Amino acid sequence: MTISDWPPPTAPPACYAHPDRVAGSVCRRCGRPICPECMREAPVGWQCATCVRQDSRSAPVTRWRPSPVGRSGRLGNSRITPMTVALIVVNVIAYLYEQRHLDYNFETKYFLVPMLVHQHWYSLITSAFLHASATHILLNMISLAIVGPAVEAEVGPVRFVVLYLLSALGGSVGFYLLAPQNEAGVGASGAIFGLMGAYFVVARMRGWPTQPIIVLLVINGAYSFSGGIAWQDHLGGLVFGALGALGLIWTPRSMRRPSEMAQLVQGLAVVIAGVAVLVALLQIPPGHVNI
């Protein structure tokens, strides 16, 4: 065969979306040639932008990062998590400190007394880490150990702490608004009810069964009205925990995988909005909301 008998060289395939560009690969889904700009990494090979968009419409939307392997956030199926342990330790240390320094002056400063909140604003958060008795803190820490890991495994440690603190503040503001002005309140119950509300939101968005958390809420809610329990704190924490979780983990369908910056901005927006609402509610005189 002479050189003249060789078949003429064929031009490399052009990208279907950019005909003026040489294709660097083919889409694993539709088989069309694609240039480097159109290449989207797939589990195997590359896909074109069109196929990726079509797949995102039909595939389940990932609104936040899934929990690591072996750390499923389902209630009762999560190992103890670091920030949950840290919060339990902080509560226990605060309780021990309280027992060594407990007197009338300590109570008026660090317990939540609605009529004194504007004098001792820090009591809105310190009261959430103090407890009335050993039994009180024991029951609350058991509840935190049950619900906390499930929420932390799903939303991550930073957002978990944000939810806990927002719920604690929400519970304190609920007590400030609904309890008698001269009544004192302490305990982590508001924050824990907030985590229960957060878990309910997560379960609904994940498509998990919500019966376990509903049972917990009903049991604890009934106990809240059994007498001598700050149900106002529980109610405030529940509302702020659920709304805080919704604000922290919800993303538009167009943002299948939000960037770290988008998540940071979203988190800051939720915190700022939550604090603004709490501050606005504190402008209402204590004990002046009737339910």
Question: What integer pLDDT is reported at residue 2 of this predicted model?
Answer: 52
Rounded to the nearest 10°, the torsion over CA 157, 158, 161, 165 is: -170
> Cβ–Cβ contacts within 10 Å for residue 214, how many?
13
Mean pLDDT value across the chain: 84
Model pLDDT for residues 145-179, shown as the tens digit of each residue = 999 999 998 888 999 999 999 999 999 999 999 99
The H-assigned helical ranges of 120-259 are: 123-126, 134-155, 157-178, 189-206, 211-224, 231-249
Coil, strand or helix at 179:
coil
Alpha carbons 159 and 250: distance in angstroms, whole number = 13
Question: What integer pLDDT is reported at residue 43 of this predicted model?
Answer: 58
Alpha carbons 95 and 9: distance in angstroms, whole number = 82
pLDDT at 233 over 70: yes
pLDDT at 237 over 50: yes
Could you give all domains of the chain from N- to C-terminal order, each with its CATH number? 14-46 (no CATH), 82-281 (1.20.1540.10)
Model pLDDT for residues 181-206, shown as the tens digit of each residue = 999 999 999 999 999 999 999 999 88
- Which residues touch 29 (CB under 8 Å, ≥6 apart)? 42, 47, 48, 51, 55
Model pLDDT for residues 95-130, shown as the tens digit of each residue = 999 999 999 999 999 999 999 999 999 999 999 999
Q: Which residues pair with 29 in a beta bridge?
A: none
